[in-house]
């Protein structure tokens, strides 16, 4: 299965998955209440230091963050226009902190460990008829399809660049069609297995 996990033996790799998920949840919630750009900037630097501690290659960090950086700049620009400069900086930094921290979690934790923690957390919901294994499968499929969709998008861009096509519509339509086909095939496979 494809995942964002990068094999390693760092302190972050050895840390239990539930601890990392708890820190991400608590820290992600706390970030939403921080109103100081300086504090958010320091938090972002700490998250980026986590990549260094985990020995994630800089090229990999850049590949994971360049898309969210563009998104954060776009959202910040809109906040700057419609609200204020301070709010624009806060929103942009919050987006970067949250996404970079989530990426760090998936880089240092195997999909199996993540799914196992999600299933354990969801197990009390079994009393109400919720199947924890289904929630685990949903998380697993979501994590699996992130790199698969990125790979499909890169293939479409390469094919279109070879043909000299640079239209966003011409990019989105094939990506949507491929995504729907993959979802159909995964759905059929799950149905055959009785999930």
Is-contact 53 12, C-beta < 8 A? yes
Largest pairwise CA distance in the chain: 57
43 lies in a domain? yes
The number of C-alpha atoms within 13 Å of 83 and in the hemisphere containing its C-beta is 12
pLDDT in the model for residue 194: 66
Q: Which of 79, 109, 139 is the last residue of a domain?
A: 109
Q: How far apart are CA 75 and CA 71, in angstroms?
A: 6
141 lies in a domain? yes
Tell me the per-residue pLDDT of 122-139, one tens digit each, with 9 for 90 and over.
888 888 888 888 888 777
119 lies in a domain? no
Structure-token pair, residue 46: 């700490």
Residue 149 structural domain = 128-192
Calculate the average pLDDT of the chain: 83
- For residue 1, pLDDT beyond 70: no
Structure-token pair, residue 73: 């700049």
Residues 20 and 96 occupy one common structural domain: yes
Residues 104 and 137 occupy one common structural domain: no
> What contacts 3, CB < 8 A, 6 or more positions away?
106, 110, 111, 143, 144, 147
For residue 143, which of 176, 177, 117 has the smallest C-alpha distance?
117
Tell me the per-residue pLDDT of 41-92, one tens digit each, with 9 for 90 and over.
999 999 999 999 999 888 888 887 877 888 888 888 888 999 888 899 999 9
Residues 17 and 86 occupy one common structural domain: yes
Residues 84 and 30 occupy one common structural domain: yes
Residues 26 and 87 occupy one common structural domain: yes
- For residue 168, pLDDT beyond 70: no
Is-contact 50 12, C-beta < 8 A? yes
Residues 20 and 99 occupy one common structural domain: yes
Residues 103 and 136 occupy one common structural domain: no
Q: How far apart are CA 154 and CA 122, in angstroms?
A: 35
Is-contact 10 109, C-beta < 8 A? no
Into how many domains does the chain fold?
2
Nearest-5° Cα angle at 11, 19 to 50:
80
121 lies in a domain? no
């Amino acid at each position: 299965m494809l995942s964002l996990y990068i094999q390693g033996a760092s302190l972050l790799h050895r840390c239990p998955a539930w601890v990392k998920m708890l820190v991400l949840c608590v820290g992600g919630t706390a970030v939403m209440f921080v109103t100081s750009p300086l504090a958010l900037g320091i938090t972002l630097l700490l998250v980026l230091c986590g990549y260094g501690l985990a020995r994630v290659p800089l090229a990999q960090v850049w590949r994971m963050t360049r898309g969210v950086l563009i998104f954060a700049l776009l959202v910040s620009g809109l906040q700057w226009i419609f609200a204020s400069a301070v709010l624009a900086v806060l929103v942009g930094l919050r987006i970067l902190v949250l996404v970079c921290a989530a990426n760090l979690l998936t880089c240092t934790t195997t999909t199996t460990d993540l799914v196992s923690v999600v299933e354990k957390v969801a197990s009390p919901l079994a009393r109400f008829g919720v199947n924890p294994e289904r929630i685990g499968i949903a998380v697993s499929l979501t994590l699996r399809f992130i790199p698969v969709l990125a790979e499909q998008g890169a293939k479409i861009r390469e094919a279109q660049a070879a043909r000299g096509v640079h239209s966003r519509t011409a990019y989105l339509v094939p990506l949507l069609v491929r995504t729907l086909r993959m979802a159909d095939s995964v759905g059929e496979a799950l149905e055959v297995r009785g999930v």
